[in-house]
Structure 1
């Protein structure tokens, strides 16, 4: 905790008319989080990001390969802003698994590095996976230039009840699976790279905080971890596969097959400490506390 001493316009005075110093406490973790922030979408002022080092606009496409058909804003059925339904303020509500994709561009909003890449992704979800989700895999967020199995960072729910919640930090497909056979999501080599959570703490009418933490990617000592409600749920070490992106084609996709509420998406250019993760989880007004 950093303590700064200063004089306020409401400073009390003594009988000698001398000012009494007032101390204001500034949380060092809040300062470091603010300095590391690269993208923030509160969904309180629409779908576009409140803060972004790159493009702040949200885009819709009929499919991933139709980049030339991208439209600014929400042009995908079954998604809308739900007023007052968020963890803080409004939220993004997904009501059906419809065709198309929505995304923020990764360029500058993700601090991608070809030699030593670190960062963190934070957001809140509210749903009952057993009753809200349609059958099949569902990715609330997926960050990649190709797909889930090729230089990608994501979380998903498994395809049938009871559903696990999993973190995938998957390197180049040519590195981890040079001779693929069958679908990768059923491949034991693929599944060994995931961090699964059985009986994850989701429930209707409650909010769950998700934090994806990663460091050392594109080295021989890459590491990724999944936190839920401020607690470490799993960690994967010694990630050696490279993560090769065409950054111009990489996007932060939201709500792939997801049905439920999402709020307070924020992305950081560094691996977060436990203290920073706890601070993020317990912010009284969300990321607005960092920016106000």
Structure 2
């Protein structure tokens, strides 16, 4: 009798956990704005806005951007992804490659929150060219003016950073920013955890941007919080339709499973995404 009761309790507990996970996955699915698996194609698997990837010689000539990849140094790497294929940046001197951010990142000029999730694979100290590089930068202008980005520093050992630079007219109006200004708006990970044969998961979580209260920006690596940018209130003022999800600025390596959620993922949800057996595709079934 006792054994039967124990089995019944165990079965009930397992069922509750399973239902909780399924419910959590459904909730996550409902909050995906943009997802690109890079499996066999460069266009996004899911996009609220434009799904196409674009290539142009440089961002100053964005009016000449063409749909698709048109740079031999930026390719789809078959079976090289964390799941399936991935996008690979083979050399640092590449054309500008981007998705349009309009509607795909949920930008709002009065209240903007969300989560950006992706995987990287590289050895930064052996593979990167000797200058700063940004695997991803989201802005309507440039990295220093209403830009949200991650980069690798230009010195050895290469450090990995999250940067949240609001309107340059607010945080650096005289173009005389100092170390204090930078430290308030960046999170630095040292030593860097990235390796050439191992995929590393990165999540950027941002909240209360443009709400006239103090914003927060959090960096997670492999599900673990690395640091928080807080105590600032820089607005991110965009011409929304000019926003871009810039990829691989000076970067050499692989990138996969780019996903943007319209909500602040909590620590448990960050880990859930990190631990998905078959990536974001698991949520879309």
TM-score (normalizing by structure 2): 0.90
1:205 aligns with 2:173: no
Of the three residues 252, 261, 264, the one matched with 2:254 is 261
Instruction: Give, in whole Å, the separation in 2 of the partners of 1:239 and 1:105.
Output: 27
Shift of 1:238: 2.3
Deviations 1:251-286 (A, max 9, x none): 000000110111100001111111110110000000
Counterpart of 1:140 in structure 2 is: 135
Shift in Å, 1:160: 1.8
1:65 aligns with 2:57: no
Shift in Å, 1:92: 0.7
| 151, 154, 162: which one aligns with 2:157 | 162
Contact 1:76 1:98 in 2 (8 A): no
SS in 1 for 2:69: coil
Asked if 1:241 is matched to 2:234, the reply is: yes
Unaligned 5+ residue runs, structure 1? 1-21
Matches within 5 A, 1:227-238: 227-238=220-231
CA distance in 2, matches of 1:64, 1:239: 29
**1:54 partnered with 2:49:** yes
Q: CA deviation at 1:115?
A: 1.2
Residues 184, 230 of structure 2: 8 Å contact kept: no
Offset at 1:198? 0.4
After superposing on structure 2, the runs of 4+ consecutive aligned residues of structure 1 that deviate more than 6 Å are none
Once the two structures are superposed, residues 83-113 of structure 1 have per-residue CA deviations (whole angstroms, 9 ceiling, x without a partner) of: 1110001111111012421100011101111
Which residue number in structure 1 is paired with residue 70 of structure 2? 75
Q: Distance in 2 between matches of 1:239 and 1:38?
A: 26
Q: Which has the larger radius of gyration?
A: 1
Distance in 2, Cα, partners of 1:29 & 1:124: 21
Q: Distance in 2 between matches of 1:261 and 1:147?
A: 23
SS of the residue corresponding to residue 29 of structure 1 reads: helix
2:184 aligned residue: 192
Mapping 1:252-291, distance limit 5 Å: 252-291=245-284
- Structure with higher helix content: 2
1:114 aligns with 2:118: no
Aligned to 1:12: none
Distance in 1, matches of 2:109 and 2:186, equals 22
- What is the RMSD of the two structures over their aligned residues, measured on CA atoms? 1.6
Structure 2, unaligned runs of 5 or more: 1-14
- Partners of 1:170 and 1:232 in 2: how far apart? 20
Q: Does 1:28 align with 2:17?
A: no
Superposition deviation, residue 28 in structure 1:
2.5
State the distance in 1 between where 2:217 and 2:260 align.
Answer: 15
